[in-house]
Amino acid sequence: MKIIFHLVKKEFLQILRSKFMIALMTGVPVIQLILLSFAANYDIKNLKVYMVDNDLSPSSRLIATTLQGSSFFDFKGYTFSQKEAFDALSKDKADIIIEIPHHFERDLVKENNASVQVLINAINNTKAGLANGYVQAVLQDVNANIRSEWKTAPQLNSTGQIEVVSVNWYNPTLDYPTLMVPGILAELLSLLTIILTALNIVKEKEIGTLEQINVTPVTKFQFILGKLLPFWVIGHIIFWTGLSVGKMVFGIPILGSLLVIEAFLSVYLFVVLGIGLFISNMAETQQQAMFVAFFFIMAFILLCGLFTPAENMPQWAQWLNIINPLYYFVEVNRLVIIKGSGLKIIAPFIGYMAIYAIGINGLAIWRYKKTT
């Protein structure tokens, strides 16, 4: 233990000697967390709308008024030319065109049926899908209002209506920072810890201090553990600082136990640190270590389900997530922080991470060649 203590002390002295490293490990994650959490927002607002109103009836004006009163739409006004509306759509001056046909209100009253054409710019399919949902919701509200105004007409009351009441659990306001902050925090923590440890041993190779350590009686296990523990502590500082910032800046609810998060975090850090050390043992230069680390980090981020649900990915991608530690951290963070899950739910994740940590650190110890 005395040898490990001195190795850990050496690592902390090296880290604290560099002001840049201190800023990198404290200030940079906080700034990135705030910026990314504001940027990763799928709320689509200010959709540019043109309306081609061929009816000019109270019902068609009600549609326009409802659109103007919504924060999701930027109502650009009326036009009576379909060609003009198409030109606006093709020049990206409009996102949505709503065309009201002739005799819209008459058909709605007499025939109990009327059509509205909605044209949406679908270059960005996510934006188009959300825009379609917003327009459908507006038209349903208008339809309900028109029916209530004409409730005395028997043809409009010939069929019953079903009222749907929706309740959103765990994130009632559908607030995107609440969803994204736990995942982005997991991503930043994994990115920094893997990179820092990936550069650690290979840096000592380049400056020659590793040769000096190799001629000492320090064992491979003691050497790897001495490299892990300082960054394990730093990982805790990064995570809890980021979570505190997320709470203060974005007001994310923390419904679960912090002790459950700490239990998972303590094991998880050994996994990502082990991956970094394994990369560092394999690389000969810091440039090689950086490239390999970024390869793994990008794969982990793209597959973890942070931006796209993992369940929607191809089956082969879901299989790859078995060895993706970030996937489990994002899942656990959201389960505990947003849903309030307890240790009983999180225990299998902790068990798997413990097996993963033993395996990857065993590989790092095996791969480290202590030569004299």
Average pLDDT over residues 241-261: 91
Q: Is 81 exposed, middle or buried (0-12, 13-18, 19+ CB in 10 A)?
A: exposed
Average pLDDT over residues 325-339: 92
Strand partners, 99: 52, 117
CA angle (313, 188, 367) in 5-degree steps: 85
Provide the 3-class DSSP secondary structure of residue 206: helix
What are the φ/ψ torsions at residue 106 (nearest 5 degrees)?
A: -60, -45
pLDDT at 224 over 50: yes
Binning pLDDT at 50, 70 and 90, where does residue 266 land? Answer: very high
Q: Which residues contact 72 (CB under 8 A, 6 or more apart)?
A: 44, 45, 46, 47, 134
DSSP per residue, 270-300:
HHHHHHHHHHHHH-SSHHHHHHHHHHHHHHH
pLDDT in tens, 25-41: 778 888 888 888 887 77
Measured distance CA(147)–CA(41) in Å, rounded = 36
CA angle (70, 89, 66) in 5-degree steps: 20
DSSP per residue, 323-344:
G-HHHHHHHHHHIIIII---HH
Q: Is pLDDT larger for residue 154 or for residue 172?
A: 172
Measured distance CA(79)–CA(82) in Å, rounded = 8
| Mean pLDDT (the chain, rounded) | 82
Nearest residue to 62 via CA among 173, 142, 3, 2: 142
Domains delineated in the chain: 7-40+173-367 (no CATH), 47-156 (3.40.1710.10)
pLDDT at 156 over 60: no
pLDDT of residue 261: 94
Distances in whole angstroms, Cα of residue 121 to Cα of each of 53, 81, 86, 94, 351: 19, 18, 10, 8, 48
Region of 25 on the Ramachandran plot (φ > 0 left; ψ -120 to 50 alpha; else beta): alpha
pLDDT at 369 over 90: no
Provide the 3-class DSSP secondary structure of residue 232: helix
Q: Is pLDDT larger for residue 196 or for residue 324?
A: 324
Residue located via tokens 């505190």: 244
Measured distance CA(143)–CA(132) in Å, rounded = 16
pLDDT at 165 over 50: yes
